Structure 1
Amino acid sequence: MNQTMLGIIDATQSFDSIQQLTINRSVAAIPFAGRYRLIDFVLSNMVNSGITSVAIFPKDQYRSLMDHIEYGKQWDLNRKRDGLFFFPSAVDSQSEEFNVFRQYKNNIDYFLRSKQQYVLISNCYTVCNIDYQAILQQHIESHCDITEIAHNGKPMGMYIFNFSLLFDLITNYEKFGYTTIQDVVLDPSHHLQICRYEYEGYVAKINTIKDYYTHSLELLKPQVWKELFNQINPIYTKVKDEPPTKYMNGSRIKNSFIANGCKIEGEVENSIIFRSVNISKGTVVKDSIIMQKSQIGENCVLNGIILDKDVKVENNVILTGDYTTPYIVPKGTIQGALMNT
């Protein structure tokens, strides 16, 4: 029996609650865990589960996402047959006519060429390391129409079902009035058998600033990191050829993740530091997330902070936030002494 799956990543979601990190990028492209983007997790899970054809359907702000995934080489998806496909929306993202099934139908040729018997549809903002083949096996054995993946009783935004059902939904979505696969699952009027698979591993849904901050620092727990990042099912990402991080005399690091290419002269505690970040002498960074290529001057104090990419913090600046409301510095901005918070 053909038990291959087609992978579809619904990258159309946007949330006002995380808008401060999506001004210049989509949710799928939000940096996470020092060197990854949110989309890396679902994309890697699909590849590790034997999926060789993946379609990404974004809505807007997808330039950064396209730059990150390129042709799918890092996920072994730059291939002659199947591979990675990118289908931007032809409809204005703010239009009331926007509909995920419409976006699928506008690219119906892709589905007509697909030979897989089953399909997996997933959102782009759920962080986990999951084996979809085990879920597919339960789906087949239980004779389900749709299997919804859940964690602690809550839907994870991931669904496995027969390709024939997807094709029927795409071609008849106007008749049914559906916009997403979730609409199908929640509709009490259909006669489909909806099953649920309870996933017991680590799961982090990133759709608010608080979730992003909390789950980022949660990675500093060894048991969480080991479950999410393992050698059997690795999480792939775009490779950056950067030198090892330099730890200068007087630097002090405690319970933190430091990516490569950094230069650390100050103190870092309980923080996530992305690639190519400079932290100057006399500076203390605590309970913070510092994204790629940010530069922090001398004698600064950053506590409870999220610095987006390419931020420059000048000397003697104090920035403070907390676990409930971390202070966010927008991408590419400069924080001077007169802007202390």
Structure 2
Amino acid sequence: MRAIGIVLAGGNNHRMKELSNKRAVAAMPVAGSYRSIDFALSNMSNSHIQRVAVLTQYNARSLNEHLNSSKWWDFGRKQGGLYIFTPTITADNSSWYRGTADSIYQNLDWLKKSHEPYVIIASGDAVYKMDYNKVLEYHIDKKADITVVCKDMPAGTDVSRFGVVKTDEEDRIVDFEEKPMGADGTTISCGIYVIRRRQLIELIEKCAQEDRYDFVRDILIRYKNLKRIFAYRTTDYWSSIASVDSYYQTNMDFLKADVRKYFFKTYPEVYSKVLDLPSAKYNPGADVKNSLVSSGCIINGTVENSVLFKKVFVGNNCVIKNSIILNEVYIGDNTYIENCIVESRDTIRANSRYIGEHGVKIVVEKNERYVL
């Protein structure tokens, strides 16, 4: 591959509410067995990108633990590898990452020491499969300075949390609005960019000189009339999990047969860190319908249209409907849960009842089961 990869995974997101209190958004569990960042890393590996940097910052402990070995994504090579970069205090800098452009600037030495001519930049909070080689070929064919992967969203979609682009007949981006309150179009940026390495270094250094820190606002939007910035349109499944509702809906999408087949049964595969857990156990009285149940779970009650992550215990006479139960949750007997996301490592006391009546409800039980 003629490119190196950068995965931006350091930002905080208040739209995730309590879910981002103890983990980075890129570390959010997805589809029973994965983390959000697995999809970007798998795409890098499947596109034969051998050198990938992950820029982490906010609540990065669980994310760093997940990335403690590069072998899961086949980056453990003599040539290349997986690099985890967190903010580092130096003689010249004592700041945390102040934005996406600043996070790249603080690790500019890694870019300068690389030899590949191109850079693929991706965010760690999206669920998708993509061959970055096709995007790179498009970038070269168009003689573009920057290529932005875009997607046409269905009419009526709320695009206020995305970057919205407008293109001309050649698919050159002529306008770019970041998170507009009211947008005319429905073509959004997927947060995936291709740029020549030397040009990225030049633009990032100029941003730093002018105290500008954001890649979208201070590079894409600022240079849209000066640089040849093109849109590469994808029609495949793509979903951002950067809000509670979108996170819930993305996991619910995996209950659809076509989505499961696309991610689980269609080449290339999605890789993740593997834990040595026994298969799920269904005791007498268990009734499971249209649900994803992960390894290590023990089911005694009823589960419908739900996603259960690893090592979940469901007690007797429990009913779980249209819900997401994160890792290592213990659910006591006679509990009813509907339209909820239950935070990981919670203990739900027996005879509890949680229902998301006006949207998705996040359940966080305060308990002392785990001592810090």
Same fold (TM over 0.5): yes
Does the Cα contact within 8 Å between 2:56 and 2:85 map onto a contact in 1?
yes
Cα separation, 1, equivalents of 2:334 and 2:239: 34
Aligned mate of 1:49, from 47, 50, 59: 47
| More off after superposition, 175-184 vs 157-166 | 175-184
Q: Which residue of 2 aligns with 1:168?
A: 202
Tell me, what secondary structure is at the counterpart of 1:172?
Answer: helix
Unaligned residue ranges in structure 1 (runs of 5+): 336-341
Amino acid at match of 1:180: D
The 1:253–1:36 alpha-carbon spacing in structure 2 relative to 1, beyond 3 Å, is same
Tell me, what secondary structure is at the counterpart of 2:310?
Answer: coil
The 1:97–1:56 alpha-carbon spacing in structure 2 relative to 1, beyond 3 Å, is closer
CA deviation vs aligned residue, 1:88-145 (integer Å, no higher than 9, x gap): 1237xxx798133333233232112211111011111111011111111111111111
Q: Which residue of 2 aligns with 1:127?
A: 127
CA deviation vs aligned residue, 1:216-272 (integer Å, no higher than 9, x gap): 112101112222333411111110111111111111111100011111110000000
Cα separation, 1, equivalents of 2:316 and 2:222: 59
Cα separation, 1, equivalents of 2:310 and 2:37: 18
Does the Cα contact within 8 Å between 1:52 and 1:83 map onto a contact in 2?
yes
Tell me, what secondary structure is at the counterpart of 1:229?
Answer: helix
Tell me, what secondary structure is at the counterpart of 1:201?
Answer: coil
Tell me, what secondary structure is at the counterpart of 1:204?
Answer: strand
Aligned mate of 2:252, from 212, 217, 221: 217
Q: Which residue of 1 aligns with 2:34?
A: 36
Amino acid at match of 1:68: H
Does the Cα contact within 8 Å between 2:117 and 2:196 map onto a contact in 1?
yes
Q: Which residue of 2 aligns with 1:309?
A: 344
2:192 counterpart of 1:158: yes
The 1:189–1:27 alpha-carbon spacing in structure 2 relative to 1, beyond 3 Å, is closer
Q: Which residue of 2 aligns with 1:138?
A: 138
Q: Which residue of 1 aligns with 2:163?
A: none
Q: Which residue of 2 aligns with 1:275?
A: 310
Q: Which residue of 1 aligns with 2:237?
A: 202
Cα separation, 2, equivalents of 1:151 and 1:119: 21
Tell me, what secondary structure is at the counterpart of 2:7?
Answer: strand
The 1:97–1:200 alpha-carbon spacing in structure 2 relative to 1, beyond 3 Å, is closer
- 1:313 shift after superposition: 1.1
2:330 counterpart of 1:295: yes
Does the Cα contact within 8 Å between 1:309 and 1:332 map onto a contact in 2?
no
Does the Cα contact within 8 Å between 1:312 and 1:334 map onto a contact in 2?
no
Does the Cα contact within 8 Å between 1:28 and 1:39 map onto a contact in 2?
yes
Amino acid at match of 1:211: S
Q: Which residue of 2 aligns with 1:325?
A: 359
Tell me, what secondary structure is at the counterpart of 2:265?
Answer: coil
Q: Which residue of 1 aligns with 2:158?
A: none
- 1:157 shift after superposition: 0.6
Cα separation, 1, equivalents of 2:119 and 2:74: 19
Aligned mate of 1:180, from 203, 207, 214: 214
Tell me, what secondary structure is at the counterpart of 2:317?
Answer: coil
Does the Cα contact within 8 Å between 1:266 and 1:282 map onto a contact in 2?
yes
| More off after superposition, 200-209 vs 171-180 | 171-180
Amino acid at match of 1:41: F
Percent of aligned pairs with the same residue?
Answer: 31
TM-score under structure 1 normalisation? 0.91
Cα separation, 1, equivalents of 2:228 and 2:128: 26
Does the Cα contact within 8 Å between 2:57 and 2:97 map onto a contact in 1?
no
